Structure 1
């Protein structure tokens, strides 16, 4: 039988200068509240974190072993992707040794992320951002693992997390957090029932993730077909059927180049853009032409972000960073501001339809981008984001951006410059990007068809995300019942 009344709040949790009160939910009569510390084996360092950063330096790592050093990433389940230290270094750091079956948790950064070190793995070491629990025989590891992943525990954990540069909590406070105890026999039954119900949810989640992956592949295939001329009927085919002439991509390019000559504001004498190298590019449909990016658009780098910028006669304006410019969309969830003079704002202000390209990052992210749609007033861009402004307002910028995000990926990867940590492209390489130019009417049909198909993809993706969120809510509901004594009844009670 469950108790009808609520337990009183936990006595007191001293979280170093702060008192928190954690509300404990009701437990069956045969259960009791204990602490995380009670679950540890009766020996020194049963619950302990990794060595201080200076005690485990980059120079301590050795090639190939023998002792693994775990990271937060390993808590996702892959314990093979590790670095190693020597046996001598392990002996020096063995206070933080991890053995198979130990429970692991992130205590800095992704606080509360939890894993179990698998059986048959060699002894390992944890770094300063992880802790480990070696359990005593009164606790089943999966019972504790599931409770640590429940919202009951995560809510309690949040009361001891300090909001510093990175979220973090101390092992001392962690040991005092509440943990419901029931006899091992019940723990095993609870584990079995949790896993029975989770297996159904896991199957549903696997299917949803498969749908999500298929949608991603379908999206890529739509864009690939669009820029290859296979998505809609070509203007050449329609014109031939209707017995009329049409403006070819080559003629459109000539019109654009004439506009470019007329509006030229660059330094020195006007120079015609170099013809793109198309020797390794796919064959174009009838009526299409090849141009270079700087032949159809004016390109510009952005402002250098410097904390020492002169703020006199300047005002704060929003600016786009590399993190804001993703492949096929803009992430404007976090926008930073910078003091800029009015003359620079006028020069760098983004306009509707500007095409954005990232200058640097990981090699597979070079040149990624999307179009600006005037989401913010007076927004500019930093020097690691390039802007391309089409000379023809009739030409849809999304077509050019799709090309840059599909076939352009290979070009940027090949032409990018690699430094120690990052890859980058310069304005010269971006300028030379070959761009296919279909007839204008065909471009508009392509854009309309892509928008139609991708709108259906977005709707389906939204449904998938909603169902994944619901699956996680159901998972938490199972854990809530499990650790309230409602999932498995005590037959002896």
Structure 2
């Protein structure tokens, strides 16, 4: 564990330990006023303006009318530090240095720290405060409330800081920025790789559901000189079986062919089907039940179980549900769950359950799909997860301008799926799982490297302010 305590005895003879307030020219709250989302006006800071560690002019508001005296008081200067003194635990203590001469007003919920330049370099303080935030100093002295913590000016002023001679402060800053620049380049490459993996995954899914990922059954049969069951013949067998074994209420209704207008050309041996064609029983909405702390309450999945594709206990809750009301809603391997309500980007998200029977029941915001035994559930899941599926459900969600638009069962039933022969479905699924497994390993390595880069960043700061690196 890194030693983080800074004492006079631990510092070089030319350094001193002082209270931050002794080397600040000014520490003050920002301007409280009416703010507009769009220009014209003078830009004014918000908490979000410094969320990425720099002053982001894309995340400001605007003030259209302001007295000259207040402009003079609240206009920021180059070298001023903005400090997030009220925020969530994750973001408390974030700072950014004003580097531009552009007009920018100091807004509320950020503190202004203006250093005595003859004693304290603002960039030196910026990196030191960054170090304190990362090592937990601020969390130890902050006041904590629900979802928010805060630091008052008194605590900030009394913060002990190591004060190097001014010329050495500048050398420390230069060395930190040189090392951080190298790290930033490496991090940018890692994030680019992760973004490419996401695009590659989408491309694999697209190829899979269009018959371009593996050799089609038609091509294989032709090469081997044999016949095969086409997707059309498979669908006919599914519909005949479905009719004779239907588990829905009331008389079985004949199905209507999916609307294939403007849909892509069929690969050889494939056929268009709808989700409703492939069901062995009707779609089913889940049940809404209040959460409870009772460990004997019935376990229900949360929406995040489907969003994350993780049906572990972490994505469940105990509820007061009546057992009789959820008797037919317990999870079974092979079930596919679709989010009937979520944000516009996530509504319609689908995930296949492969865990133990009756581990949890499904909540009201999920719709259950159970396909017949002549279809591979994993293939149906992949078809629903494709880019086409995302566009389809987003386009059919009601209340798209709201935060939680909804889709209904009819939208899922009508979803068109390219249905290949059964043996080809198995090959597609196997190839996708092979490729996704490799991608998961690469992504895990990228995440580990990103985490290591963050550790290195803190190590650089630690070396600069605690270990007295000879800079």
TM-score by length of 1: 0.83
1:411 maps onto 2:386 in alignment: no
Change in Cα spacing, 1:399 to 1:120, as seen in structure 2 (3 Å) is: farther
Change in Cα spacing, 1:99 to 1:347, as seen in structure 2 (3 Å) is: farther
**What secondary structure sits across from 1:436 in the alignment?**
strand
Change in Cα spacing, 1:209 to 1:252, as seen in structure 2 (3 Å) is: same
1:73 corresponding residue in structure 2: 48
Larger mean CA deviation between 343-352 and 314-323 belongs to: 314-323
Larger mean CA deviation between 337-346 and 86-95 belongs to: 86-95
1:103 maps onto 2:81 in alignment: yes
1:220 maps onto 2:202 in alignment: yes
Change in Cα spacing, 1:277 to 1:170, as seen in structure 2 (3 Å) is: same
Number of matched pairs: 456
CA offset at residue 444 of structure 1? 0.5
1:126 maps onto 2:102 in alignment: no
CA offset at residue 69 of structure 1? 3.9
2-side partners of 1:470 and 1:250: how far apart? Answer: 52
CA offset at residue 187 of structure 1? 0.7
In structure 1, the gaps of 5 or more residues are 1-5, 11-22
Within the candidate set 362, 371, 382, 1:390 is matched to 371
2-side partners of 1:384 and 1:95: how far apart? Answer: 51
1:293 corresponding residue in structure 2: 275
1:482 corresponding residue in structure 2: 464
**What secondary structure sits across from 2:115 in the alignment?**
coil
TM-score by length of 2: 0.87
- TM-align CA RMSD: 3.0
Change in Cα spacing, 1:449 to 1:227, as seen in structure 2 (3 Å) is: same
Counterparts of 1:335-346 in structure 2 under 5 Å? 335-346=316-327
**What secondary structure sits across from 1:390 in the alignment?**
coil
1:34 maps onto 2:18 in alignment: yes
Contact kept in structure 1, 2:45 and 2:107, CA below 8 Å: yes
Contact kept in structure 2, 1:69 and 1:83, CA below 8 Å: yes
1:445 maps onto 2:392 in alignment: no
CA offset at residue 159 of structure 1? 0.3
2-side partners of 1:237 and 1:266: how far apart? Answer: 38
Larger mean CA deviation between 398-407 and 370-379 belongs to: 370-379
Contact kept in structure 1, 2:45 and 2:104, CA below 8 Å: no
CA displacement, residues 361-418 of structure 1 (integer Å, 9 cap, x when unaligned)? 33222211211122685312222222211122x5322221221121101111221222
CA offset at residue 99 of structure 1? 4.4
Counterparts of 1:421-436 in structure 2 under 5 Å? 421-436=403-418
Within the candidate set 116, 121, 130, 1:136 is matched to 116
Change in Cα spacing, 1:199 to 1:408, as seen in structure 2 (3 Å) is: same
1:117 corresponding residue in structure 2: 98
Change in Cα spacing, 1:217 to 1:446, as seen in structure 2 (3 Å) is: same
Change in Cα spacing, 1:95 to 1:433, as seen in structure 2 (3 Å) is: farther
Change in Cα spacing, 1:83 to 1:301, as seen in structure 2 (3 Å) is: farther
**What secondary structure sits across from 1:68 in the alignment?**
strand
Larger mean CA deviation between 109-118 and 208-217 belongs to: 109-118
Contact kept in structure 2, 1:105 and 1:112, CA below 8 Å: yes
CA displacement, residues 1-27 of structure 1 (integer Å, 9 cap, x when unaligned)? xxxxx99x79xxxxxxxxxxxx89922
CA displacement, residues 31-79 of structure 1 (integer Å, 9 cap, x when unaligned)? 22223333421x4xx243675xxx76xxx53541413343343321432
2-side partners of 1:120 and 1:404: how far apart? Answer: 51
1:16 corresponding residue in structure 2: none
1-side partners of 2:237 and 2:71: how far apart? Answer: 71
**What secondary structure sits across from 1:352 in the alignment?**
coil
Contact kept in structure 2, 1:396 and 1:443, CA below 8 Å: yes
